Amino acid sequence: MMRSLYSGVAGLKTHQTKMDVIGNNIANVNTVGFKSSQVLFKDVLYQTTQSATGSTNGSGGSNAKQIGLGTGVATVAVTQTSGSAQTTNNPYDLMINGNSFFIVNRGGTNYFTKVGAFTTDDAGNLVTGSGDYVMGWQVDPDNPNEIKRDTVSALRPEAEENQTAAPELTSQAYMTGNIDATDPRLQTAEGVVTTVSIYDSLGYNYTVKFKITANGEDGKYDVEIDSIRDENNVDISDKYDIKFPGGTEQRSNTISFNPDTGAFEGAGGPVGNEKLLLEITPKTDANGEMLYGDVFRDMTANNPDDQIPGITVDFSNLTMFSESGECDVETHRGMDDDPSNGAGRTVGSLTDVTIDTQGRLYGVYDNGVSKLLGQIAVANFINPAGLEAIGGSLYKETRASGEFDSIGKDIASTGETMTQGVLEMSNVDLSQEFTDMIVTQRGFQANSRIITVSDTLIEELVNLKR
Q: Which of 201, 229, 197 is nearest to 332 (CA)?
A: 197
Q: b/e for 432-460, b at 16 or more Cβ within 10 A?
A: ebeebbeebeebbeebeebbeebeeeeee
How many C-beta atoms surround the C-beta of residue 406 within 10 A? 12
User: Is residue 249 pLDDT above 60, yes or no?
Assistant: no
- For residues 69-82, give the mean pLDDT: 85
Is the pLDDT assigned to residue 306 strictly greater than 80? Answer: no
- Let me know: does 295 contact 280? Beta carbons within 8 Å: no
3-class SS letters over 189-218: CCCEEEEEEEECCCCCEEEEEEEEEECCCC
pLDDT at 22 over 50: yes
Going by DSSP bridges, is the β-strand pair 205-214/220-229 parallel, antiparallel, or unpaired? antiparallel
Report the distance separating Cα 392 and Cα 427, nearest Å: 17
- Rounded distance, CA 37 to CA 31, Å? 14
Mean pLDDT of 320-338: 90
For residue 235, the model assigns a pLDDT of 94
Per-residue pLDDT band for 68 (boundaries 50, 70, 90) equals confident
β-strands 220-229, 252-257 pairing: antiparallel
* pLDDT tier for residue 304 given thresholds of 50, 70 and 90: low
Residue scoring higher pLDDT (67 or 154): 154
Distances (CA, A) of 278 to 179, 232, 240, 250, 310: 21, 22, 12, 11, 5
Q: For position 19, what pLDDT does the model report?
A: 95
pLDDT at position 434: 95
Mean pLDDT of 67-81: 84
Strand (E) or helix (H) holding 453? helix 430-463
Alpha-carbon torsion 380, 134, 161, 347, what sign? positive
CA distance 357 to 297: 38
More confident residue, 303 or 379: 379
Tell whether the model's pLDDT for residue 69 goes beyond 80: no
Residues written for the chain:
466
Residue 329, pLDDT score: 96
> Tens digit of pLDDT for each residue in 77-90?
888 888 888 999 89
Torsion of CA 97, 100, 101, 103, to 10 degrees: -120
* 80 or 314: which leads in pLDDT: 314
- Whether residue 248 has pLDDT greater than 60: no
Helices (H), 107-254: none
Residue 102 DSSP one-character state: E
Give 466's pLDDT tier (boundaries 50, 70, 90).
Answer: low
Span 151-175, pLDDT tens digits: 999 999 999 999 999 999 999 999 9
Burial of 14 (0-12, 13-18, 19+ CB in 10 A): buried
Record the pTM: 0.77
Task: Give the pLDDT mean for 402-418.
Answer: 93
On whether the CB atoms of residues 185 and 327 are closer than 8 A, the answer is: yes
Percent of the chain with pLDDT over 90: 60
pLDDT greater than 70 at residue 312 = yes
Report pLDDT digits (tens) over 92-122.
999 999 999 999 999 999 999 999 999 999 9
Confidence of residue 247 (pLDDT cuts 50, 70, 90): very low
- Supply the mean pLDDT for the chain: 89
**Mean pLDDT across the stretch 286-309?**
77
The residue-averaged pLDDT of 270-284 equals: 84
The reported pLDDT for the residue numbered 310 is 85
At 305, the pLDDT band (50, 70, 90 cuts) reads: low
pLDDT confidence of residue 180: 94
User: Where does the pLDDT of residue 463 fall: very low under 50, low under 70, confident under 90, or very high at 90 and above?
Assistant: confident
- Under 8 Å CB-to-CB from 324, ≥6 apart: which residues? 180
